[in-house]
Amino acid sequence: MNITVYLGASAGNDPAFLPAVQELGDWIGANGHALVYGGSKSGLMGALADSVLNADGHVTGVEPSFFIEAEFQHDGIDDLDMAERKAKMIELGDAFIAFPGGTGTLEEIAEVMSAVSLGHLSAPCILYNLDGYYNDLKALLGHMIDKGLSSPRRQQGIYFAEDLHEIASIING
DSSP result, the chain: -EEEEE--SS--S-TTHHHHHHHHHHHHHHTT-EEEE--BSSHHHHHHHHHHHHTT-EEEE---HHHHHTT-B-TT-S-B--TTHHHHHHHH-SEEEE-S--HHHHHHHHHHHHHHHTTS--S-EEEE-GGGTTHHHHHHHHHHHHTTSS-TTTTTTEEEESSHHHHHHHHH-
Residue 32 has pLDDT above 90, yes or no: yes
Of 52 and 104, the one with more pLDDT? 52
In angstroms, rounded to a whole number, what is the distance separating the alpha carbons of residues 171 and 1? 9
Residue 146: predicted pLDDT: 98
Q: Is the pLDDT of residue 44 over 70?
A: yes
Of all residues in the chain, the percent with pLDDT exceeding 70 is 87
pLDDT reading at 171 higher than 90: yes
In 3D space, the residue among 151, 153, 155, 145 whose CA is nearest the CA of residue 124 turns out to be 155
Does 159 have pLDDT greater than 60? Answer: yes
At 73-128, the pLDDT tens digits run 555 544 444 446 788 899 999 999 999 999 989 999 999 999 999 999 999 999 99
| Cα gap 59→36, rounded to integer Å | 6
**Under 8 Å between Cβ of 102 and 8:** yes
* pLDDT at res. 81: 44
